[in-house]
A and B are shown apart, each in its own frame.
Chain A
């Protein structure tokens, strides 16, 4: 067994400096590294850039707390029946969050460029969309003469990828159940990979079915064990979305709510 990479949640968050670009795993209310997101708020981080194909609660609460000031995203919503992410919307409308609007697949293409070790990556579609002009993306002809053209997306290499998983080993192997969302490409494109896991698992368990492992230890810098850490979102198959808390998050617009919300989060009970 290699050296343990287990650290506290506070230690994990402290590795992310002000101004860093951070890719967040999961999708909307599902399996997001929300305990880590809240810890970034507690530590008073500033000027973070958030990268995620489909953020919701995470980017919204980071805007609400003034932690994020840039974002590269595909679609942002609280989802379910809650609609738009209100603090994100306000931050964009008031110019406090500099937005680079992507399609989910263009953000992925940029991450693929980083993962593949090349400066840009072709992507399908985009014909007729205003997004390429908005973002200054280029179109290239097929150099092999098929007469096809393809848009190419410049390399996107987040400083960090932080993902929330069901299980991890002390050496930094990690696995999820259900869909991995975009976590595979995020962890291959980022400079440093941080893991939040529901549960610490013996290596023998992973070794029995190594094909289930999403992130091998060689990619992982550190792991924090935080049971229920994707709250108020879901972590399949362990728990579902806590809709009453999302409702309170949306309804209670007073300043005190954020402190109360941070104080009642499960990570405060587990250190």
Chain B
């Protein structure tokens, strides 16, 4: 079996949530979301609209930036669809798929990006939710990712609910979840992992009916990811491990 790195599992797992003819958004502090959108453009034959926080609408950036809000992500775009515009688009129900970050996720797909511990006396102050509280409940679908799959990040109870409304999908090094009947259900586990391992490393209970090993990357998915991360910088910096 060709190697399926946990880094690729997340990036390709996210890209596979993108659907034809939809509007898909990647935001700030979201390297994986940026890579997933650019990967889908290169690996899939269908058309979709990729918009991003740099104002780009189907851009053709001359390099892949470390920062997912780098203005190079509007290069080649025929318009600048700026921050106020894409938030308003989302609020009026026209954002099909929104990639949003999270530190903690619960079984309903709600997120905490605010604080670990009591918000007022935090053990750890987190970055904050950015768009989450407004975009998660208003986007048609939202997908998140975690580079660490553990009961610390996939929790029974959030320390603080930054954003509610429920993620449609979640990609981790060892699992792909998709919403079913209002809760995250296991769809796939990494071929080098197992259902038992996903259960042991997940803080919330979940439905796993019909779950299968994640289909291996296609040649085009592999090539697309390699072309986006020519020097392996993103994979090295992300430092994702299977376990």
Interface residues of A (CB under 8 A from B): 27-31, 53-54, 73-77, 79-81, 84-85, 88-89, 92-93, 99, 101-106, 108, 123-131, 134, 178-182, 184-185, 234, 236-237, 240-241, 243
Contact = CB atoms under 8 A, between A and B. Distances in A.
Nearest 8 Cβ contacts at the A-B interface: A128-B164, A124-B91, A75-B130, A179-B55, A125-B134, A236-B71, A103-B133, A178-B71
B161 A130 contact: yes
Contact of B84 (A99, A185, A240): A185
Contacts of A80: 66-67
B229 to A, nearest CB: 12
Nearest to A130: B161
B135 interface: yes
B153 interface: no
Given A28-B69, A104-B134, A125-B133, 9 more contacts: A28-B28, A81-B237, A124-B92, A125-B90, A128-B110, A128-B137, A129-B163, A130-B114, A241-B67
Interface stretch (B118-126, B169-177, B187-195, B203-211): B118-126
Contact of A130 (B122, B125, B126, B160): B160
A40 to B, nearest CB: 23
Contacts of B71: 30-31, 178-179, 234, 236-237
B137 A75 contact: no
A179 B70 CA distance: 10
Given A129-B133, A241-B67, A178 B80 contact: yes
A92 B121 CA distance: 9
Contacts of A182: 83-84
Given A30-B69, A178-B74, A105 B165 contact: no
Interface in B1-45: 28-29, 31
Contact of A74 (B82, B124, B129): B129
Interface string B41-59: 0000000000001110000
7 contacts: A75-B130, A88-B125, A101-B129, A125-B91, A178-B80, A179-B83, A234-B70
A53 B87 CA distance: 12
Contacts of B160: 130
A244 B123 CA distance: 30
Main secondary structure of the interface of A (DSSP, over half): loop
A73 B83 CA distance: 15
Contact of A101 (B114, B123, B237): B114
B124 A93 contact: yes
Contact of B70 (A30, A54, A92): A30
B123 to A, nearest CB: 8
A79 B130 contact: no
Contact of A129 (B83, B84, B161): B161
B105 to A, nearest CB: 14
B76 interface: no
Given A75-B127, A128-B165, A130-B161, A241 B135 contact: no
Given A54-B130, A129-B164, A89 B91 contact: no
A140 B13 CA distance: 40
Contacts of A240: 70, 72
B138 interface: yes
Given A129-B133, A129-B163, A129-B164, A101 B84 contact: no
A76 B164 contact: no
Contacts of A73: 128
Nearest to A102: B128
A101 B128 contact: yes
B115 to A, nearest CB: 9
Contacts of A77: 28-29, 127
Contacts of B87: 104-105, 108
Contact of A123 (B68, B134, B165): B134
B131 interface: yes
A54 B114 CA distance: 14
B144 interface: no
A80 B29 CA distance: 7
Nearest to A124: B91
A81 B126 CA distance: 15
B107 interface: no
